[in-house]
Amino acid sequence: MSDLTRYGGRCIVAQPALPRDRAMRLRCLALAVLAISLYPVTPRLAAQDTDVSRLVAALLGDTPVASDLQTLADSIGGRPTGSPANLAGVEWALQRFRAAGVTARKEAFTMPGLWLERSAGVTISAAGGTIRFAPRIAALPFSTATPPTGLRAPVVDGGRGTAEDFARLGAAANGAFVLIETEALHDLDGLFREYNEAAQIEPRAFAAGVAGVIYQSSRPDGVLARHNASLNLANRHPMVMMERSAGVRILRLLRTGHAVEATLTIDVQAGGPYESYNVIGEIRGATKPEEIVVIGSHFDSWDLGTGVLDNGANAVMLIDVARQMARLGLRPARTIRFVLWNGEEQHLVGSWKYTVAHAAELDKHVMAGSVDIGTGRITGFFTGGRPEIAAAVDRALAPVRGLGPFTQVDAPIVGTDNYDFMMQGVANIVANQESANYGPNYHAASDTYDKADLRTLRENAAIVGAVVWAFANMEVTWGRQSRAEIERLIASTDLEQQMRSFAVWEPWVAGVRGRAR
């Protein structure tokens, strides 16, 4: 049996070890497709089986997905929402959809506030200035700026940032930069541990009156990363991540009795609400065009790296799925919307605003899917605590079972762009993927094109294409859930805990996000 473990609002399924012989898996897939084609079926179902077989074969073949990803990564680069690179990426994605013969548009929505780092630096001094060095740092998103001349304060040893650590520091934390020691990050387990710990550390630090928070990077070899400050736009403190070896050096100095000071300089571009865009490619349904299947991946990223694993690879994968459907002349029964979301890194704003703008259509949204864990192999889908959706996904995966095995996890999940659809009662699925190299490169300077597993990306495209095609054509036995049904889902699962971890619980309670009735 699979072992289900939940980390910080996401579920990770540990699958049995699989042979990595890709050729064998593709031969298995070919046999599976052949078996389906030989099985006695009605003419209508036979046509659908032929369509999905052609689509899968095309997606596994020679497509522009790799060159698209290289262009997105190397020519456009990291894409924070509100940045010039993000706007350039929006226009590029529109062009790629349209060049593929797919109707495409950008839909404007309002982001609540702008944050972009211009520069960040720190100078460390100890032993009366005889020890002096300048580690590399990155400001955390929504960190405040410092005065142009910098902010100078003592550095104190915050340990792991536990309640006991702050009790030990006592008044020494007041007005100081607190340096937080971290575990080395190796996988998704470590990533979500890091998120959970930060959400607890920061309120303790602010209550202690710190001047700011310095996190030792959990990444090796001087690699830096960004995680949102837990208070997001409400944050009022400077917060940074420091290269790991320098953090270790400072902790050694502090633990051997040295007094250490830091002069921190952060320059940010910050502002109020502004306009951003989701990009939507659409293949209109042939017989039920008013019914809609959404499949999305977020297009925005942070900008230390080039945003490949999080989440450019899956954005270009969706462009490729749409491209191959258009190239083959496939017409689904329902309308398929391929959506590249913006504002995901800043509390899932783009997908939330879509549900607001399309509120009148949500009863006709049959399914909303998301792919958001790099290029690790898809092992199944989270199906939102709705058994009928899990069964539908099982059926949808039949044409690609040679790329399995697949196990559906019938539990709700928070942390990516399915969330607001779920809270609106729309059936939703999220691809569950092997960790691969996602965790260590997440939001990091190392999230670059060379980290992408291009062969697995093609296999994932075939899986996603088969699932989306099935939902666009299958008989539907489910509808949109009411608020009362969503509340029962919350009461019977750990959904409330997840929502609190991602700071989306209060908007639900207040009726700002989610279904009103």
Domain boundaries defined on the chain: 19-112+273-509, 115-271
324-370 pLDDT, tens per residue? Answer: 999 999 999 999 999 999 999 999 999 999 999 999 999 999 999 99
Predicted pLDDT at 37:
41
**Strands, E assignment, 100-164:** 103-111, 114-126, 131-133, 137-139, 151-157
pLDDT > 60? residue 26: no
- At 442, the amino acid letter reads Y
- CATH code: domain 115-271 is 3.50.30.30
470-492 pLDDT, tens per residue? Answer: 999 999 999 999 999 999 999 99
Predicted pLDDT at 4:
32
Dist CA 146 CA 445 (whole Å): 23
Q: Taking a C-beta distance cutoff of 8 angstroms, is the pair 264, 146 a contact?
A: yes
112-152 pLDDT, tens per residue? Answer: 999 999 999 999 999 999 999 999 999 999 999 999 999 99
pLDDT > 60? residue 69: yes
For domain 19-112+273-509, which architecture applies?
3-Layer(aba) Sandwich (3.40)
Could you please report the per-residue DSSP string of 394-440?
HHHTGGGGGG-----B-S---SSTTHHHHHTT--EEEEEE--TTHHH
At 459, the pLDDT band (50, 70, 90 cuts) reads: very high
Token pair, residue 304, equals 């230390």
Q: Cβ neighbours of residue 414 under 8 Å, at least 6 residues apart?
A: 9, 10, 495, 498, 499, 501, 502, 504
SS (H, E, C) 265-282: EEEEEEECCEEEEEEEEE
**Strands, E assignment, 318-364:** 334-341
Q: How many CB atoms lie within 10 A of CB 475?
A: 6
